[in-house]
Chains A and B, each alone.
Chain A
Amino acid sequence: MAMKQSLRKRVGVTVLAWVVAFLIFFPILWTFLTSFKSELDAIAMPPKFLFFHWTLENYAEVQERSNYLHFAFNSVVLSIGANVVGLIIAVPAAWSMAFAPGKRTKDLLMWMLSTKMMPAVGVLVPIYLLFRDLHLLDTLTGIGLVLMLLNLPILIWMLYTYFKEIPVDILEAARMDGASLLNEILYVLTPMSVPGIASTMLLAIILSWNEAFWTLNLATSDAAPLTAFIASYSAPEGFFWAKLSAASTLAIAPILILGWFSQKQLVRGLTFGAVK
């Protein structure tokens, strides 16, 4: 009796869970399906779910007519570039906090995290004016710099938590072996932290790829990444749903894949360690 009840319960719960998950995921799925429809099929009533003429014309058009690749290139360069530079600055900082902490280290770490909590509009005006005067508007350098600074606290924080898991006597052994500080970080610390560094970069790239406030306000065309490209569909001409779907699918696919691998990092990085 108990067995049957629990199997029934398990099946019931599974069905419910799958229904809920499907509902949550549905908009993404729908976008994916719509990307393969013709524009007329896309607005057809009643909606066509699976049985329509599948076509790749939207994907071709998104590139030919609106140069999708240019924006994708910008997204890639910005996300990876900003965070690689950020990593180079963050690793020494995290080393310092993990292995040479002072009285103020904890306060410093908290202050760095707090810069991430500052609302962007608080500094929109000066940053915009500064960028305008320094000719940094709509440049990859300028926007990359902003993205790097936005992520720096998270990079440092996450690397710090990973570094703290490394036994300090291994680093001391390296010092006894004659390693300078640079050698210690390069040959011992970094190889030992590769999983942590990879996880951190994963999360950082995702956050930068999706960053919409600064990319929308500081970029117009040359340096505009995918966030801005998609935003151009808010004032469209004619039928555009299928193209929007194709562009959207292309824009979110890489991140969905990366995001799947970085769930744990998400918890660690974005809750600042307040949840284990």
Chain B
Amino acid sequence: MGSIQLKSVTKAFGAVNVITGVDLKIENGEFAVFVGPSGCGKSTLLRLIAGLEDVTTGQVLIDGKDATEVGPSKRGLAMVFQSYALYPHMSVRGNIAFALKMAGESADVIEQKVRKAAATLNLTDYLDRKPRQLSGGQRQRVAIGRAIVREPKAFLFDEPLSNLDAALRVQMRVEIGELHNALKTTMVYVTHDQVEAMTMADKIVVLDKGSVAQIGTPLDLYNRPNGLFVAGFIGSPTMNLIKGAPAARRGAATIGIRPEHADVSTTAGEWPATVRLAEHLGSDTFVHADADGIGALTIRLEGEAPLTPDQKIYVTPREEHLHRFDKEGRRIN
């Protein structure tokens, strides 16, 4: 009912190729996240799906039907903008009701649907306020309410949480996830924050400079990144990537080991290193060390590890979690 497919889609703005060839399919009901560094084209891709930009070549299919030439007002999709884009001259009620008014619904139906959406998002008390009288989190809810009330084929979120403070961000993340569980509608979510991607997605699309680097479930991407880019992008702190002798010994140009998959000993181990800094969070300890002949390493240890700067340690990777990459940066299985 809400499947979206992109076939060989490219997008150029003048001479600049922003999207260089994307093929992907989002199934009905999936929560898909487009993630990547700034400038990778993820927002552009979302806008192409929304119809706010035209594709240069390729097709956009919604529910199997070609929507490439269809205008944004007719695609049956709802979008939550990064800036919320609320109508400043309308009340919350007016904002939520606008789409229904455009669809020509009767006043009774509109009132009923607005009430329902407001209740779902705890906005009932604010229905008569104007956007400028609301806090950031409340405005966000209105933006979501505006989208929900249309019962769209899919929701499109363009970095909706980036304007919120950290605590609110965590709370809204959970709420959006719960919304998805309740509505079971397709959601396409754009973010640069890989934590949001990992926690919310059924399927993650990692974008790099206008093309797809990898598509998969969060754990797929975490356990089997198909290349250096995805390996370095997913996971926080970033995966340690090591070239040279230790890599060659294992038959690769580069090997990667995540900070949580290495052991630290003060007595023996594969790579001798000097502690530069140890960050004590109580629940974890992040050890930043300089390994001889290898470079900077970050290791995550559970609990409290009493390490101090300039201390000599030995770092040993756990072989079963080691990733190997060839000289083109692709995964060796």
Residues of A that sit less than 8 Å from B by CB: 167, 169-170, 172-180, 183, 187-188, 191-192
Contact = CB atoms under 8 A, between A and B. Distances in A.
Interface of B: 50-52, 71-74, 77-79, 81-83, 85-89, 98-99, 102-103, 146, 150
A191 B130 CA distance: 14
Nearest to B78: A176
Given A176-B72, A177-B99, A169 B88 contact: no
Contact of A174 (B78, B82, B98): B98
A178 B83 contact: no
Contacts, number: 59
B243 to A, nearest CB: 44
Contacts of A177: 73, 98-99, 102, 146, 150
Nearest to B77: A176
Given A167-B83, A187-B98, A175 B88 contact: no
Contacts of B77: 176
Contacts of B81: 169, 172-173
Given A183-B102, A192-B88, A175 B72 contact: yes
B106 to A, nearest CB: 16
Contacts of B51: 175
- Return the 10 tightest CB-CB contacts between A and B, nearest first: A177-B99, A173-B85, A178-B102, A169-B85, A191-B89, A175-B72, A176-B79, A178-B73, A170-B85, A169-B81
Contacts of A175: 51-52, 71-73
B82, B99, B150 — most chain A CB neighbours (10 Å): B99
A176 B73 contact: yes
B87 A188 contact: yes
Contacts of A174: 87, 98
Given A176-B77, A179-B73, 17 more contacts: A169-B81, A169-B82, A169-B83, A170-B85, A172-B52, A172-B79, A172-B81, A173-B85, A173-B146, A174-B98, A177-B146, A178-B73, A178-B99, A180-B102, A183-B102, A187-B98, A188-B87
A192 B83 contact: no
A94 B65 CA distance: 35
